[in-house]
Amino acid sequence: MSRLAELLSERPEVVAPRLLGALLTRGGVTVRLTEVEAYAGDSDPGSHAFRGRTPRNAVMFGPAGRLYTYFTYGMHVCANVVCGPEGQASAVLLRAGEVVDGLDVAHGRRLGAPDRDLARGPARLCRALGITLDDNGADLAGEDLHLELPASPATAYATGPRVGLRGAPERPWRFWLQGDPTVSVYRPAKGLRRPG
């Protein structure tokens, strides 16, 4: 087991705040993570793995230290850091970050976006880094895709409900660096429309 995988082998709500300030590098761009959300597999109605293992969520079952990517709303790729013990699905969604290296490359992928918005939101973060569905299962200790945890954990962070969830929305498993301008705007889940 790599040192990174070992550090990520705890519960997602423990790993998530440790990822704040971490550097994720891919495709010539480095993003400093400023906002994340924890998801705990079959014990979490908000998790893709709540109803068990499927071809889509299989990467979530480990090992820790892999990237779990998925397609959402028919147009966006989102990325998660797989964590927890192998065999128990859990992951941390990468919600937002600040581009700290490769600004020109990120601007080329996110034409017209101001610096603050280049990786502000999970789909924008993936676009800025050039992360695609082909990165699903990739080792985060690799050369082209690399996650570097901060030397010391962030202390000035806030927690709150996860964004846009109907399943377990009250869990305070969204973590963000307080006052950071790259953190996304909180949006609760929209209610289901019932035929009138």
Q: What is the pLDDT of residue 191?
A: 56
pLDDT tens-digit series, residues 78-92 = 999 999 999 999 999
pLDDT band at 169 (very low <50, low <70, confident <90, very high): confident
Q: What is the pLDDT of residue 47?
A: 81
pLDDT band at 48 (very low <50, low <70, confident <90, very high): confident
pLDDT band at 196 (very low <50, low <70, confident <90, very high): low
Structure pTM? 0.92
Would you tell me which CATH number, out of the four given (2.40.50.140, 3.10.300.10, 3.40.640.10, 1.20.1250.20), belongs to the domain 3-177?
Answer: 3.10.300.10
Domain boundaries of the chain, sorted by first residue: 3-177
Long-range contacts of 125-128 (CB under 8 A, 24+ apart): 125/31, 125/79, 125/94, 125/95, 125/96, 125/97, 126/69, 126/76, 126/77, 126/78, 126/79, 126/94, 127/77, 128/29, 128/31, 128/99
